[in-house]
Amino acid sequence: MSPFVSCAPLMWLTVPMRGRKPGLLPIERSILETGIELRRDGAPEFHGFLAASRMRDTGEARMLTSRGTLYKALDRLERQGFLASRWEDPDVALLDGRPRRRLYHVTPAGELALSSPRVPSAAGARRLQSGGASS
Amino acid sequence: MSEFFTLLLREAESGWFWMYTAALPEEARSLRAEELHSDAWEHEADARQRGGRFGLEFAYRVILGMPADVAWRVQLGRRGFERRSGLELLVASLLAFGLLVALPISGLVLPRSDMVLGGAPHISAFLLAHTLIVILGLVLPGVLVIDRWPVAGGLLVLIGCLCLMAEFWWLREAMGVLLVGTAAAAVCTVRLESLRRR
């Protein structure tokens, strides 16, 4: 048996992932719209389940969005700069007797992505967030 | 929906979480776990308030989300891999080499060889090559990763030592060294794992 083994099976790990074509998936669009609606209703931040239940209640989704789909979409939106998140103060959660929440809010880049038919790239979104686009 | 079924469901969900987040950095894993735990809590509270059936809703949310969980894991794995150091890449390559070459030789070829079946003990080129392969492909990666993943690293060293023992059973000095090495790996594994869990 040859001691020289091809590393080809491992190469898929090193190849950078091909980015999906820019554009929002329906679930991502729904999340951003829900976040903006919630802010309009006086809740500037939302957690994952709140977004899912709101989408169900408003009829945007027939049932509660599955957990994997929901949190993958939130992760992707955050990486693109369309959402920002922070962890809730543990003391607040402790007072309410529940686990602490991860709270999201829609960024200006997210609003722009929703209103614009052409979605900016992740780098463009970051520039927008840092104010680089205005200069 | 009985409490027992709900409990069973949560355990199954924990098992699924454990599987698809295996080998992720601890921080990413614990944050994801915390977010999902919060989601389950909110869902249960919401179902109680609405008089809905938490168990069934929760089950379908977990099951339908499984492909997305895997996709998320693959994406995260690839993103993480791009940031990995050369050392980790070396360990991964050595490990793949060890698993593909050293284990098949140790398990399939050595037990059938004349030496093991009672032939005259001698150090052949084949045995030297096998020793090198086992050390490079199993023992070395084990030593390199034992600090980060104590159980996996300890197991690799143990398997490597067992492969070498199968080869050098007739050489008393070598067996002594291998037994000491195995014991040291076991002590390191237990010690590092207990430190990691603190």
Lowest-confidence segment of A96-110, A121-135, B68-82 by average pLDDT:
A121-135
Percentage of residues of chain B with pLDDT beyond 70: 66
Query: A45 contacts in B (CB within 8 Å)?
Result: none
Topology given in CATH for the domain delimited by A24-130: Arc Repressor Mutant, subunit A (1.10.10)
Which of B37, B61, B75 is closest, CB to CB, to A66?
B61
- Tell if the CB–CB gap between B68 and A49 is shorter than 8 Å: no
- Among residues A87, A44, A48, which one has the least CA distance to residue A71? A48
Interface of A with B in 69-88 (CB under 8 A): 69-72, 75
Residue B115, phi then psi, degrees to nearest 5: -60, -45
Query: What is the tens place of the pLDDT at every residue in B169-195?
Result: 766 777 777 777 777 777 777 776 666
As a whole number of angstroms, the distance between CA B183 and CA A42 comes to: 62
Lowest-confidence segment of A83-87, B2-6, B42-46 by average pLDDT:
B2-6
- Tell if the CB–CB gap between B65 and A70 is shorter than 8 Å: yes
Residue B71 pLDDT > 50: yes
CA dihedral B113→B119→B124→B125, nearest 10 degrees, is -20
Number of H helices, E strands in chain B: 10, 0
As a whole number of angstroms, the distance between CA B8 and CA B14 comes to: 10
CB contact A98 to B (< 8 Å) = yes
- Tell if the CB–CB gap between A64 and B72 is shorter than 8 Å: no
Q: What is the pLDDT of residue B115?
A: 54
Most A CBs within 10 Å, among B9, B24, B61, to test the A interface: B61
Q: What is the 3-state secondary structure (H, E, C) of A115-128?
A: HCCCCCCHHHHHHH
Query: What is the tens place of the pLDDT at every residue in A54-98?
Result: 998 888 777 888 999 999 999 999 999 999 999 999 999 999 999
Lowest-confidence segment of B52-56, B70-74, B100-104, B185-189 by average pLDDT:
B100-104
Q: Is B149 helix (H, G, I), strand (E, B) or coil?
A: coil
